[in-house]
Chains A and B, each alone.
Chain A
Amino acid sequence: MPAAEPSDAVLSLSDLQFSWHGKAAFRLEVPALDIRRAERVVLLGESGSGKSTLLSLICGILSPARGRILIAGTDLGTLHGSARDRLRAEQIGVIFQQFNLLPFATPLDNIVLPLQFSRNRRRKVDDPVAEALRLTEALGLPETLITGARAAELSVGQQQRVAVARALIGQPALIVADEPTSALDASAQLAFLDLLFSQAAAAGSSLIMVTHDDRLSDRFDRVLRLADIAQVSREAAA
């Protein structure tokens, strides 16, 4: 395991264990995972391999049965409900596969939404509207589209870029992206990744991207296979 000083690690998992006792019992164990500042990591795994569960654990939506999750030095396990939500707001930008945006709101309102929940990210932004427009311009989106339209009127590719702007506004420490390219066609995927990388680098944010598609993996600093870092077991309900 590449050694990472705790102070340098944006994300650090150790001895993590999570169990789900639903209709289908499910268990996920991650002995160790560290992501350094500004590092770009791709996590490869088939669907159903526990990717979503791991991301939910990292984002503090789910709580592990055992083990530690450090986000920028803060132990999620020591926090309760609303404090975990606040930590997510402060430190993490999330990009989904698709349907990232509130369809009825303008893209602009979607982008500035995380600032509502994070005092630190708001403090880093002098003028939220100007910052949102700067990000979207860098992502190649025309201003009229951002302020005038409703998010539902944008194409899938445009929506994904708006989602990048929302994840990056206020420079969170970590960007968590769950298959952000899979709704795009192949030619758009590379361009999208380039934009994501350059803007994440500009913001100084680390990136952890989960995908089942290994064609893009050579562009990342580090490639991890979920099967290597985690053990997943499923059993039928008792």
Chain B
Amino acid sequence: MILLRLAIASLLARWITVGLTIFAIALSVALFLGVEKVRTGARASFADTISNTDLIVGARSGGVQLLLYSVFRIGNATNNITWETYQDLSSRPEIAWMVPISLGDSHRGFRVMGTTDAYFERYKFRGGQALSFARGDKFDDLFDTVLGADVAAQLGYDLGDPIVVAHGLASFTEHKDKPFRVSGILEKTGTPVDRTVIVSLEGIEAIHVDWSGGGRSGPPVSADEVRQMELEPKAVTAIMLGVTSRLKVFTLQRAINEYAEEPLLAILPGVALQELWEIVGVAETALVGVSAMVVTTALLGMAAMIFASLNERRREMAILRASGAGPGVIASLLMLEAVLLTAAGVVAGVVLLYAGLWIARPYIDAAYGLYLPIAGLTTREVLVLAGVLGASVIVSLVPAMRAYKISIADGMTVRT
């Protein structure tokens, strides 16, 4: 125990260099764990974007593309699904429910999505959590709209405010003649729903009744007139659906993919999310790699610090040798020092991580919709920390071997 006490006393006597070294290790460990937490948090939040939906159906394109535009509101559909196909599918017995969505318009940078009432019950996120209203309720009138939390917060909307939908995604032509009214505002979800303006499918149809392609066609139809019209949609962009039994998912998927009347694509959201993550995951691997390098750098810095201290500590080694310590004891004393330093760095790094998480979490949640749970260290993280300690032993071999040689050469007298 006296050797441990001596190692600690020796470290304390050099507290500035030792403190800086511990700080460097702590920062690197906190960075590594932070990357790990953000990575797993992002992955979980990503996978949580949609749940309890068995299939997403769209016009035939790529699975990732369909997932991106239907769930993440990124990119565009190449084609729509006709209303006839929608009705044909809805008659299939294995389908328990279907929610159509219609995309293409925008409001001040946010996507407008037309759908049915069922969307609010069927869309689930974060392991089956349902949407809930912060204020107001679902749409009641043809020109009612429900806003995602970010839309309302960023544009400062409240219940009853009027909203004019723009035609297309980055367009100056607006459906000014048919403004919508905010009927409800959703709670924050951390999903793309937060950035969506939701209207009824009929509402989408109503504002396009006198439009064709990119511009107006025919005589204008007023908002009051349109209420009297039959507003059955001609097409939808995508369909979310659930099956009556999970066993039927694959046969239904195949049936939709081989649908003869129209080229369709059905995807399993989980599989498509996985594919998408594999693309995004390259950055993930790079981040882990970079933070591992930072930890390695900090450990090498520690070895350099110990190495540099050897010359001024030759007296210390001579005293230990005179007291009966062999060169092996001196080498192991230096390794003990390295392990103590690293252990202090690891502990400080973990404290730093949780302090950082606690401070940054509300900001990250608000800014990126990324919810980072403050949970204990995972087994993987504990193993990584043990690995860091192990690496410190290996790295400390360099100064330890040097000290071994010095203490043999010097013996009890310090040659300079």
Hey, which bits of chain A sit against chain B, CB under 8 A?
52, 55-56, 59, 61-62, 81-82, 85-86, 88-90, 94, 96, 99-106, 109, 112-114, 116-118, 150, 166
Of B5, B13, B324, which contacts A109 at CB under 8 A? B5
Write out the residue numbers on chain B whose beta carbons fall within 8 Å of the beta carbon of A101.
Answer: 319
Write out the residue numbers on chain A whose beta carbons fall within 8 Å of the beta carbon of B9.
Answer: 102, 104-106, 109, 150
Of B12, B320, B326, B413, which contacts A82 at CB under 8 A? B326
B10 near A113 (CB under 8 angstroms)?
Answer: no
- In whole angstroms, what is the CA distance A89 to B412 when docked? 13
Write out the residue numbers on chain A whose beta carbons fall within 8 Å of the beta carbon of B12.
Answer: 104
Given that A89-B324, A102-B316, A104-B13 are contacting pairs, would A109 and B6 also be in contact in the complex, using a CB cutoff of 8 Å?
A: yes
Write out the residue numbers on chain A whose beta carbons fall within 8 Å of the beta carbon of B324.
Answer: 85-86, 88-90, 114, 116-118
Task: Give the residue name and chain of the A residue nearest to B3 (CB).
Answer: A116
- In whole angstroms, what is the CA distance A61 to B326 when docked? 9
Is B359 at the interface (CB under 8 A from chain A)?
no
Of A61, A112, A116, which contacts B321 at CB under 8 A? A61
Write out the residue numbers on chain A whose beta carbons fall within 8 Å of the beta carbon of B322.
Answer: 59, 88, 94, 96
Given that A59-B412, A61-B411 are contacting pairs, would A94 and B323 also be in contact in the complex, using a CB cutoff of 8 Å?
A: yes
Given that A88-B324, A89-B324 are contacting pairs, would A56 and B6 also be in contact in the complex, using a CB cutoff of 8 Å?
A: no
Central interface residue in A62, A106, A113, by most chain B CB within 10 Å: A113
Central interface residue in A96, A99, A102, A114, by most chain B CB within 10 Å: A102
Is B328 at the interface (CB under 8 A from chain A)?
yes
Of A56, A61, A104, A113, which contacts B323 at CB under 8 A? A113
Given that A56-B413, A102-B6, A109-B6 are contacting pairs, would A89 and B323 also be in contact in the complex, using a CB cutoff of 8 Å?
A: yes
Q: Would you mind naming 10 contact pairs between A and B with Cβ atoms under 8 Å apart?
A: A52-B413, A61-B321, A81-B326, A81-B327, A85-B324, A90-B324, A94-B322, A104-B10, A118-B324, A166-B323
- In whole angstroms, what is the CA distance A56 to B320 when docked? 14
- In whole angstroms, what is the CA distance A109 to B4 when docked? 11
Query: In terms of DSSP, what is the predominant structure of the interface of chain B?
Result: helix
A-B contact count (CB 8 A): 79
Is B288 at the interface (CB under 8 A from chain A)?
no
Give A54 Cβ to nearest chain B Cβ, in Å.
12
Q: Mark each residue of chain B from 1 to 30: 1 if its CB lies under 8 Å from any CB of chain A, else 0.
A: 011011001101100000000000000000
Write out the residue numbers on chain A whose beta carbons fall within 8 Å of the beta carbon of B327.
Answer: 81, 85
Q: Mark each residue of chain B from 376 to 416: 1 if its CB lies under 8 Å from any CB of chain A, else 0.
A: 00000000000000000000000000000000000111000
Further contacts, 10 of them, CB under 8 A, given A56-B411, A105-B6: A82-B326, A82-B328, A85-B325, A86-B324, A99-B315, A102-B316, A112-B2, A116-B3, A117-B323, A150-B13
Task: Give the residue name and chain of the B residue nearest to A84 (CB).
Answer: B326
Give B11 Cβ to nearest chain A Cβ, in Å.
9
- In whole angstroms, what is the CA distance A85 to B412 when docked? 12
- In whole angstroms, what is the CA distance A86 to B321 when docked? 10
Write out the residue numbers on chain A whose beta carbons fall within 8 Å of the beta carbon of B294.
Answer: none
Q: Mark each residue of chain B from 317 to 343: 1 if its CB lies under 8 Å from any CB of chain A, else 0.
A: 001111111111100000000000000
- In whole angstroms, what is the CA distance A150 to B8 when docked? 13
Given that A85-B324, A166-B323 are contacting pairs, would A109 and B2 also be in contact in the complex, using a CB cutoff of 8 Å?
A: yes
Task: Give the residue name and chain of the A residue nearest to B413 (CB).
Answer: A52
Task: Give the residue name and chain of the B residue nearest to A100 (CB).
Answer: B319
Task: Give the residue name and chain of the A residue nearest to B411 (CB).
Answer: A61
Write out the residue numbers on chain B whose beta carbons fall within 8 Å of the beta carbon of A102.
Answer: 6, 9-10, 316, 319-320
- In whole angstroms, what is the CA distance A88 to B327 when docked? 13
Write out the residue numbers on chain B whose beta carbons fall within 8 Å of the beta carbon of A116.
Answer: 2-3, 323-325
Give A102 Cβ to nearest chain B Cβ, in Å.
6
- In whole angstroms, what is the CA distance A11 to B8 when docked? 37
Task: Give the residue name and chain of the B residue nearest to A99 (CB).
Answer: B315
- In whole angstroms, what is the CA distance A80 to B413 when docked? 20
- In whole angstroms, what is the CA distance A102 to B315 when docked? 8
Of B10, B319, B329, B412, which contacts A117 at CB under 8 A? B329
Write out the residue numbers on chain B whose beta carbons fall within 8 Å of the beta carbon of A104.
Answer: 9-10, 12-13
Task: Give the residue name and chain of the B residue nearest to A56 (CB).
Answer: B411
Give A105 Cβ to nearest chain B Cβ, in Å.
5
Write out the residue numbers on chain B whose beta carbons fall within 8 Å of the beta carbon of A89.
Answer: 323-325
